[in-house]
Structure 1
Amino acid sequence: MTAPIRAIYFNATLTPSPGESHTDLLIEASANILRKQGVEIDIVRAVDDAIAPGVQPDMTEQGAAEDAWPALWERVQAADIVVLATPIWLGQPSSLATRVIERLYAQSGLMNDDGQSIFYGKVGGCLVDGNEDGMKACATQVLYAMQHLGMTIPPQADAGWVGEAGPGPSYGDELEDGSRAGADNEFTKRNVTIMAWNLLHLARMLRGGIPSEGNDRRAWEQGERFGFQNPEYR
């Protein structure tokens, strides 16, 4: 029997539990689509865990008093889909989003059995929310980092809601008419849905992994060049 697809969502809100998180509401809009397709969902609110700053796999070995990342890394390894959800602050992803990316980067030296990045075969996506400009800029930073580490990014792998430009309600806030901000926004609903399905489609396609021809780092270290040669300089 084929194991179910697993997805892990990192919520990079700055609000600790049990405080309400607009980012968590946006995660649920995406995760519920995947749950209905049998995907196992794991949600991590990063602020609740003592994720030490740094770019080593276990920062207690570098002097940190505690570090929750090694245990979280096991949950990342078990996932086929990795989604980083971040609010916008000053037009940028939150500091916790950056920390999660840095800790993912700490594992970038690990390789799978085919000599590829340990992230090969994982699918990456991004959710962004807030009440100020910067949604696409934040997604650009997150998705670039994910693909650089070795994750595969499907088409239209980002979605979010920022409302009108300038201060205003955040995703899920109750409005004067009793409705919820963003809940009836067709652009957000459509993109969240397309993103979730594309993550699932690609995760299913990558169950067999990515061919190692041309990207086997161990083979490169042993002298294989996969057809590369320097151009002739004039």
Structure 2
Amino acid sequence: MELSKKQLEQCASSRWDSSDLKALFLNCTLKPTPELSHTEGLIDISRSIMEKNGVSVKILRPVDHDIAFGVYPNMTEHGWDSDEWPDIYQSVKEADILVVTTPIWLGDKSSVCTQTIERLYANSSDLNDQGQYAYYGRVGGCLVTGNEDGAKHCAMNILYSLQHLGYVIPPQADAAWLGEAGPGPSYRDPGSGGPENDFTNRNTTFMTWNLMHLARLIKGAGGIPAHGNQRSEWDAGCRPDFPNPDYR
């Protein structure tokens, strides 16, 4: 992805060291690799800015993997023959920045995105070395593409879910591109105007820098202070005879 002159100037003039940061993009397209993903076109802008600033970036399509349904960390322990989520979770744990991305179908995020968030939830009761929930100290954002209305609805759902699990959400942590209502070109199709859309490019740039800035601040501070937020100190609403989260 070629960045604009302004985007390149911002990267060149940055005084922040992001070389120790890692980012993971979960592209919740319905299309397996190597099919063209329009959502990945928007990811490429954010990825390019991050890489220009030394961030180590990984892009993963959950649809490429045999992920079981459910909200336990490893569903092979609960009746499924196979489950690749535990391997994906290792990449999630390594990332300082998580960006969940999705196309819009019927005005909502994709079914793959819903399943991915459910599996993120499955590990939300894990604890870090300070006794906080596993995702504390990480930042989250989202990107959305589609030819239908619903971008803000998808972003509200995804960002709420991430913060509920423990991610920190920076200002303007979402960006989207929408084509005209009804059938028409998608983001990467010729004539869509998507890659040239200044509003989308601006918001994607804002999201990317805000994710890097907040990740830098939190990592530099040694994470979120472990006071008043440790699971071991507060068991309200938890049943010792049931897993957390409860599987229903």
TM-score normalized with structure 1 length: 0.90
Residue 77 (structure 1) aligns with: 93
1:183 partnered with 2:195: yes
1:211 partnered with 2:225: yes
1:199 partnered with 2:215: no
Q: How far apart are residue 221 of structure 1 and its match?
A: 4.2
| CA deviation profile, 1:64-99 (whole Å, cap 9, x unmatched) | 111110011111100000000000000000000001
1:172 partnered with 2:205: no
Q: Matched residues in 1 for 2:146 and 2:94: separation?
A: 30
Q: How far apart are residue 113 of structure 1 and its match?
A: 2.0
Q: How far apart are residue 143 of structure 1 and its match?
A: 0.3
Residue 160 (structure 2) aligns with: 144
| CA deviation profile, 1:119-140 (whole Å, cap 9, x unmatched) | 0011000000011000000000
Residue 228 (structure 1) aligns with: none
1:123 partnered with 2:139: yes
Q: Matched residues in 2 for 1:120 and 1:134: separation?
A: 29
The DSSP-based 3-state class of the residue aligned with 1:31 is helix
Residue 5 (structure 1) aligns with: 21
Q: How far apart are residue 164 of structure 1 and its match?
A: 2.2
Q: How far apart are residue 165 of structure 1 and its match?
A: 2.6
Comparing 166-175 and 15-24, the one that deviates more = 166-175
**Structure 2 alignment gaps of length 5 or more:** 1-17, 237-248
The DSSP-based 3-state class of the residue aligned with 1:71 is helix
The DSSP-based 3-state class of the residue aligned with 1:197 is helix
Contact 1:172–1:183 (CA under 8 A) maintained in structure 2: yes
**Structure 1 alignment gaps of length 5 or more:** 223-234
1:27 partnered with 2:8: no
Comparing 164-173 and 26-35, the one that deviates more = 164-173
Q: How far apart are residue 219 of structure 1 and its match?
A: 2.0
Q: Matched residues in 2 for 1:181 and 1:3: separation?
A: 33
Q: Matched residues in 2 for 1:168 and 1:93: separation?
A: 19
Q: Matched residues in 1 for 2:28 and 2:193: separation?
A: 20
Q: Matched residues in 2 for 1:3 and 1:110: separation?
A: 27
1:158 partnered with 2:174: yes
Residue 4 (structure 2) aligns with: none
Determine which structure has more spread, i.e. the larger CA radius of gyration.
1
Q: Matched residues in 1 for 2:149 and 2:231: separation?
A: 40
Q: Which amino acid aligns with 1:189?
A: N
Q: Matched residues in 1 for 2:234 and 2:113: separation?
A: 33
Contact 1:22–1:170 (CA under 8 A) maintained in structure 2: yes
Q: How far apart are residue 172 of structure 1 and its match?
A: 1.4
Residue 242 (structure 2) aligns with: none
Q: How far apart are residue 15 of structure 1 and its match?
A: 0.8
Across the aligned residues of Structure 1 and Structure 2, the Cα RMSD in angstroms comes to 1.6
| CA deviation profile, 1:123-161 (whole Å, cap 9, x unmatched) | 000000011000000000000000000000000000010
